[in-house]
Amino acid sequence: MTAEQRIWRPPWPVNLTESWSAWRRGTGDPSYRIVTGAHWRALATPAGAATLRVRVAGEAVEASAWGEGAAWVLEELPRMLGADDDVAGFEPQHPVLASAWRSHRHLRVGRGGIVWAAAVPAVLEQKVTGQEAFTGYRRLLRRFGEVAPGPGADLELRVPPSPQRLRGVASWEWLRLPVDGARSDTLQRLARVAPALERTLTDPAAAGGRLRSVPGVGAWTSAEIRQRAHGDADAVSVGDFHVARSITYALLGEERDDAAMLEVLAPYAGHRYRVQRLLELARAGHPRRGARMAPRRHLPA
């Protein structure tokens, strides 16, 4: 299979690991590999499956793509890396945030351009430990995902299952992943309206409300989807177990709740998710004390 190629010279230095780390679901993510500095991704695009390989060489971003969706991913690559992200007006004054911005001045919020690709892992991460969520996502792709085209197959990359494919997954198969009924039911509902969800990409202002109109999708899930699919630099993760405590600890000196987080982020309206990402990259969150939460054991594996 012949690869399609693109060389893009962005007007800022791109750091692939920073830009795309939010897309990778654990080191065992079957849709994402990093091999000798090159980032490989398996994507289900509107034009079909694609394997994408991207590396930075000096000031250039070099990309190769295989499969029916190759032309689509190469066309979208600049937006996936944050070309549409506008940092104008973002001038942090708090010393912790200002330091994070100096260290990660070239961070851009990329627009993935595929709502379904962001929705599946976001729902799987609802109200469970990261270990349980990553395990469910990995097993879902291994069991029901498509083998990535071209050299992606040799890397054992898997394209996430389509909405149609996911709708055919039986209830007992979900439990074996293991994914409980609440999350699998939400995914089934999202799969039924998947085409409408993709249309939110053309109307980002209405995306949050349209996503939350699906039962099982709340403020947190909507934000997690918009961060990645829509490139929404304001979609802060309200309702997260750690985010509010981390942001308030960094900016107020004490761990507080979502209401306090939204209050302290008010001056950064339009950039609240950017603040979240910068503080995450700067490791400026609240101290993690004690043992990690244990994964649930009552679901079959």
Distance CA 209, CA 154 (A): 41
- Give me the pLDDT at residue 287, please: 76
| Positive or negative: CA dihedral 110, 33, 135, 67 | positive
Q: Are 210 and 188 in contact (CB under 8 A)?
A: no
**Residue 104 pLDDT > 90:** yes
Q: Where are the alpha helices (DSSP H) in the chain?
A: 16-20, 70-80, 95-103, 115-124, 130-144, 163-167, 171-176, 181-192, 194-198, 204-212, 219-225, 243-252, 258-265, 272-281
Evaluate if pTM is beyond 0.85.
yes
Across the strands, what pairs with 8?
61
pLDDT at 299: 53
pLDDT digits (tens, 9 = 90+) for 177-203: 999 999 999 999 999 999 999 999 999
Tens of pLDDT along 206-234?
999 999 999 999 999 999 999 999 999 99
Choose the CATH number for 4-230 among 2.102.10.10, 1.10.340.30, 1.10.1060.10, 1.10.287.3510.
Answer: 1.10.340.30
What is the model's pLDDT at position 205? 86
What gap in Å lies between CA 20 and CA 81, rounded to an integer? 8
pLDDT at position 291 is: 46
Question: CA–CA separation, 109 vs 231, rounded Å?
Answer: 5
For residue 147, the SS3 value is strand
